Structure 1
Amino acid sequence: MAILRLALQSLRNRKATAILTIFTVAVSVALLIGVERVRTQAKESFANTISGTDLIVGARSGQVNLLLYSVFRIGNATNNIDWKSVEDVKNHPAVAWTIPISLGDSHRGFRVVGTTDDYFKYYRYGQKQPLSFKEGKSFDGLFDTVIGSEVAKKLGYQLGDEIVIAHGLADKSFARHDNLPFKVTGILSPTGTPVDRSVHVSMPAIEAIHIGWESGARMGPGVKPEDIDPDLLQPEQITAVLLGLKSRIQTFALQRTINEYKQEPLTAIMPGIALHELWSMMSVAEQALLVVSGFVVVAGLMGMLSSLLTSLNERRREMAILRGMGARPAHIFFLLISEALLLTLLGIIAGVTVLLIMINLAAPFVLSQYGLQLSSAFLSQHEWMLIGIVLVAGFLVGMFPALRAYRQSLSDGMTIRI
């Protein structure tokens, strides 16, 4: 304890240098733990986007591409699939439920998803959590829409508001279906998934707004709502369909059957395997970020080593006086080690504290902009391990000046000219 008190007093006497060293270590630790937390949270967020869905069926494509546009609303489909094919898949004895999805339109930067009521009944995210309504209900009329929580929050929509959907992803005046506005009838509760950033309409509504459109352009003034018969609005093609099976034992057999479908080229993927492949593709960038943050920690510890070595040359008389007062070489050694450990520990505490504050402040923005749910929970087991490694590294760094001070003789210290 006497050595620890002496180390604290020594650091107080070199306050400016100690604060700069603690700041350097804090920044490096905050970056290291921050990168690790973003990495793990991003992985969990990807994994929690969809659950309880056994297969996703779309046009012939790579499984990652199919996963990206059907679940994450990223990119576009290589092709659509015929409604007849969807009906064949739906009528297969192994299929319990289906969720058809039609993409291609947008509203002020948010993707429009054409689907059915089964979407709200069977879609699951996280640990098989169902979708729930914060306000309102599912679409009842032809031009009703259900919006995600982020759409409502960012655009300030409430129940009863009218919105206009645009053809394609560019929300330009000439591409808007302004002759057929939609009314908001439901707002979903937050999920932390792309559902929050989606505008949901019925499949017949998708067909209705494209009456009189050819090759992405409106031909003529456009149809009026009262002139549309909802019973005649049968989709011809959709983008993808999510499947739930009666028994998971049948997953591989049905996947093979769909992939060998004769009427048109289809691809059936298992979301879990596709997610694993997607994350494997991103692992190079993920590991690179972790390595860079590791080098930042090394640079911070090297700065601490430089500070300790520089101050050691100025403290040789102090060491000599301590020796003259009866301190043994081991005491000098543990004094320097204690200073290094204190600097490292204080830097770790400061870095973790700043990181948790920044996560709490940035979490709403990151969720709204990137759909990533950052946890403000305290350190995980893996993060504790990283901190332990940093602390051990600080101990090893402190050994260099400690060994040097240990080897300095009493007479060498007393003969220094000032």
Structure 2
Amino acid sequence: MNRLFFLTLAAKSLLNRRLTAALTVLSIALAVTLFLGVEKIRMGAKESFDNTISGTDLIVGARSGSLNLLLYSVFRLGDPTNNVTWESYRAFAERPDVAWTVPLSLGDSHKGYRVIGTAPAYFEHYKYGRRQDLTFAEGQPFEKLFETVLGAEVAAKLGYRIGDEITLSHGIGSTSFANHEDKPFRVVGILAPTGTPVDKSVHVSLEAIEAIHLGWQSGARTPLAKMFTKERVEAMKLQPDQITAFLVGLTSRAAALRYQRDVMTYRREPLQAVIPGVALAQLWQVVGVAETALTAIAAFVVFTGLLGMLTAILTSLNERRREMAILRSAGARPWMVFALLMSEAALLAFCGALLGIAAVYLGFAAGAPFIEAQLGIFVGGLYPGLYDLLVLGAVTGAALVLGAVPAFRAYRNSLADGLTIRL
């Protein structure tokens, strides 16, 4: 008897117990769906983290720790401990080994979204993913003092269009009582979605950040603020006194360590420079514990589903003793009965795992736009790959191992025991 015979016989046997078999397949399918779903989200989140910024050699800011600098300058999380003076920025930006720099100024917000003061070079040199450029869904970069460019999520969630006016708030809270309502900004551009914190940012010029804070002191408007009307500041030549951080692109990647050393040993003020890739790796190590825990829980759920399959087969053994005896009386050897039970376990697990894999890919194909829009996680690879085949093989193999328990019990049942069942 070949393997196909046992699989055919196992399939017919399962069809006779179709309800129990269907529930077992469904439980395994749900377990595999959860496991693969968690794995896909984990890999997508890691890739989204890694792809948040690319093509930038160094990030420079006040000395506070590499993770903190990365979080507030790239992910718009947390607050800087200090700022970088404009003189220090110019000193490092004008070095011969620097190809470009992008200054960043943080501290204001708009309805809970961070405001980023920057330069036009931001739209030219900031890259994400695999060195993808920022593109405009509508409009263009800001050119005038009170113009702004919105991230995709800001525009979509708040319903802004080109030409709308917005008011910035002092501080980064979702609710602020210190607003710059006397100097509204006009929306001139909306960026295409990137799946990064850029989507949640409001971009204005560095000069605009200076303009809205003229006459302010310690986060509050002073009586002098009335003197700095919108028309008056538009005629002024503004230059920032300090910025939060700046991104650096070097003429040669080999110069990164030398540049970093010079920043760290700078005597005029305490600064630090971090390599984005290194800082991102450190950040992922911090959240790695949660990642491992999620994977372990998902794997345990798969194991629980297989235990349910084992329980179903073991429970049905007593009812199937006469069936086994008839097979023996028809000439089946004990090892054939063993193989039949093993084939049933493998078939149940294979069908469940296959159904679970299909459910994962169908679910992500339908829900990928929502996941990208709401979580900023790009779910790539919407086609089964080697990893899915490994999961399919692992689940089927584990089912074979567990199926050996009921198979061995059936193997030990004698022909006489099967024909003399006591009710």
- Interval containing the TM-score (normalised by the shorter chain): over 0.9
Distance 1:369 1:84 in 2: 40
| 1:73 pairs with one of 66, 72, 76 | 76
Q: CA deviation at 1:61?
A: 1.2
| 1:264 pairs with one of 264, 269, 272 | 269
Distance 1:63 1:383 in 2: 36
Unaligned runs of 5+ in 2: none
Distance 1:51 1:78 in 2: 25
Q: CA deviation at 1:60?
A: 0.4
Question: Are the counterparts in 2 of residues 356 and 376 from structure 1 also a CA contact under 8 Å?
Answer: no
For 2:47, the aligned partner's letter is E
| 1:344 pairs with one of 345, 349, 359 | 349
**TM-score, structure 1 as length reference:** 0.96
- Deviation string for 1:57-78 (max 9, x for gaps)? 0000110111111011111111
Q: How does 1:37-116 map to 2 (within 5 A)?
A: 37-116=40-119
Q: Secondary structure at the match of 1:186?
A: strand
| 1:290 pairs with one of 287, 295, 303 | 295
For 1:167, the aligned partner's letter is H
Distance 2:78 2:389 in 1: 38
| 2:256 pairs with one of 251, 256, 259 | 251
Question: Are the counterparts in 1 of residues 338 and 410 from structure 2 also a CA contact under 8 Å?
Answer: yes
Distance 1:288 1:356 in 2: 23
For 1:77, the aligned partner's letter is P
Q: Secondary structure at the match of 1:258?
A: helix
| 1:16 pairs with one of 9, 14, 19 | 19
**Which residue does the alignment assign to 1:187?**
190
| 1:30 pairs with one of 29, 33, 36 | 33
**Which residue does the alignment assign to 2:324?**
319
Q: Secondary structure at the match of 1:287?
A: helix
Q: Secondary structure at the match of 1:174?
A: coil
Q: Secondary structure at the match of 1:114?
A: strand
| 1:216 pairs with one of 215, 219, 230 | 219
Question: Are the counterparts in 1 of residues 105 and 245 from structure 2 also a CA contact under 8 Å?
Answer: yes
Question: Are the counterparts in 1 of residues 350 and 395 from structure 2 also a CA contact under 8 Å?
Answer: no
For 2:128, the aligned partner's letter is Y
**Which residue does the alignment assign to 1:281?**
286
Unaligned runs of 5+ in 1: none
Q: CA deviation at 1:11?
A: 1.4
- Deviation string for 1:4-38 (max 9, x for gaps)? 22212221221221122112111211111111111
Q: Secondary structure at the match of 2:138?
A: strand
For 2:14, the aligned partner's letter is L
Distance 2:150 2:235 in 1: 21
Number of residue equivalences: 418
Do the aligned partners of residues 230 and 244 (structure 1) sit closer, same or farther apart at CA in structure 2, a change above 3 Å counting?
farther
For 1:315, the aligned partner's letter is R
Distance 1:230 1:319 in 2: 96
Question: Are the counterparts in 2 of residues 204 and 230 from structure 1 also a CA contact under 8 Å?
Answer: no
| 1:123 pairs with one of 113, 123, 126 | 126
- More deviation in 28-37 or 53-62? 28-37
Q: CA deviation at 1:46?
A: 0.8
Is 1:152 aligned to residue 155 of structure 2?
Answer: yes
Distance 2:402 2:372 in 1: 39
Is 1:358 aligned to residue 368 of structure 2?
Answer: no
Identity %: 53
Question: Are the counterparts in 1 of residues 112 and 175 from structure 2 also a CA contact under 8 Å?
Answer: no
Q: CA deviation at 1:206?
A: 0.7
Q: CA deviation at 1:262?
A: 0.7
For 1:227, the aligned partner's letter is R
For 2:140, the aligned partner's letter is K
- Deviation string for 1:90-109 (max 9, x for gaps)? 11121111000011111112
Distance 1:293 1:88 in 2: 52
Do the aligned partners of residues 12 and 151 (structure 1) sit closer, same or farther apart at CA in structure 2, a change above 3 Å counting?
same
- Deviation string for 1:360-389 (max 9, x for gaps)? 343333323322112361233334323321
For 1:16, the aligned partner's letter is L
- More deviation in 134-143 or 150-159? 150-159
For 1:343, the aligned partner's letter is L
